Amino acid sequence: MDLVIQLLLNGIVNGSHYALLGLGFGLIFATTRIVHFAFGSIFTFGAYVAWFVSGYMGAPIFLGLAAGVVVAMGLGVASYVGLYQPLERRGVSPLIPLIASLGLTIVLENLVGIIFGTGARTIDAETSIHFLGPAFFTSIHVWQVVSFLLVCVLLYLFVNYTRYGKAIMAMTDDPEMARVIGIDTARVSILVFALGSALSAIAALLVTLKDGASTHMGFTAVFMGFVAVIVGGVGSLRGAIAGGFLLGLVESLGLWKISTEWQSSIAFIVLFLMILLRPHGLFSLARR
């Protein structure tokens, strides 16, 4: 029973991380219909920028977070304006932006290595350990959960009570109709690329504080975000949250009976089962 409690706590922490990634990736995908796999490389860039500011230069962690968020937002907007938007204007097949995003991923990953080096990077931060009965968690784990909850509250208020938030939801529901009724879809797309990239940078800093940063960390980030979106249901932000937590809990509890060397395969199993049993996800908008 002690092991189960610890695994549940780990699942909640990991679920918060995956749900945050799912929100960032899903916000972009649901609004623009672009499979932005370079999301993972921008995540990596945010982590290394945060390390450079707070780990290398010794600035406070909140400044590292701010720098990572600003750079990630800039890269997200640049990727849309410089790559995806010109392809949209030409009316190309959806497969072309997907291939372009893979190329952008390779470019950004190599750029991270050129600028910051290819070695792993860590940020020294004071970490306290807390106990909940027989289980334990650290202050960084707490910040992962708290940051996720804070992002959810702010995103909820933005989406439901601002003009641009309502425009995002309109595009999520039907991009063509949103364009017909006069919504500037290009401006909204720029906004969601900025917001989604900012969320990736927040998640990147927290995972860097916990595990350190590496040049290939972006693959796991974009894959987990993608799985959370598919499991939760494309076009549903609450689905991305549910998918992230389901993935985190299943992955963690799976270690109860499965060796740790197979942990990375659990996400694939969850994805395959969801595609087979409920291909539209937990909260799909396919009912339209």
Domains defined for the chain, CATH in brackets: 2-277 (1.10.3470)
Task: Tell me which amino acid residue 282 is.
Answer: L
234 against 199, higher pLDDT = 199
Distance separating alpha carbons of residues 208 and 51, to the nearest angstrom: 8
Nearest to 46 by CA among 197, 190, 194, 226: 197
pLDDT confidence of residue 277: 78
Q: What is the mean pLDDT of the chain?
A: 90
pLDDT band for 119, please (50, 70, 90 cuts): confident
pLDDT above 60: residue 92? yes
Share of the chain above pLDDT 90, in %: 64
pLDDT number for residue 115: 94
Contact residues for 282 (Cβ-Cβ < 8 A; gap 6+):
231, 232, 233, 236, 239, 242, 243, 246
In three-state secondary structure terms, 42 is helix
- Calculate mean pLDDT across residues 180-198: 94
Of 36-40, 78-82, 125-129, 198-202, the least confident: 125-129
pLDDT class for 261, splitting at 50, 70, 90?
low
For residues 208 and 182, what is the distance between their CA atoms, to the nearest angstrom? 42
**pLDDT on residue 286:** 44
Question: Which residue type sits at 36?
Answer: H
Rounded-to-integer distance, Cα 18 and Cα 224, Å = 6
Average pLDDT over residues 172-181: 85
Average pLDDT over residues 33-45: 95
Q: Give me the mean pLDDT over the 171-184 stretch.
A: 86
Q: Is the dihedral of CA 242, 256, 278, 40 positive or negative?
A: positive
Is pLDDT at 74 greater than 60 in this prediction?
yes
Q: 120 vs 116, 205, 208, CA distance in Å?
A: 10, 14, 10
pLDDT at 287 over 50: no
From the list 281, 239, 271, the residue with the least C-alpha distance to 22 is 239
d(Cα 240, Cα 220) in Å, to the nearest integer?
A: 16
Tell me what the mean pLDDT of segment 164-180 comes to: 88
pLDDT at 80: 97
| Section 77-95 average pLDDT | 93
CA distance 187 to 78: 13
What Cα–Cα distance (Å) separates residue 187 from each residue in 10, 45, 80, 257?
A: 39, 24, 11, 49
pLDDT tier for residue 158 given thresholds of 50, 70 and 90: very high
Q: Which helix (H) or strand (E) holds 135?
A: strand 135-138
Q: Residues near 71 by Cβ (< 8 Å), separated by ≥ 6? A: 45, 46, 49, 201
Q: Percent of the chain at pLDDT above 70?
A: 94
In this predicted structure, the answer to whether residue 235 has a pLDDT above a threshold of 80 is no
- What letters, b where the CB count within 10 A reaches 16 and e where it falls short, cover 172-201? beebeebeeeebebeebbbbbbbbbbbbbb
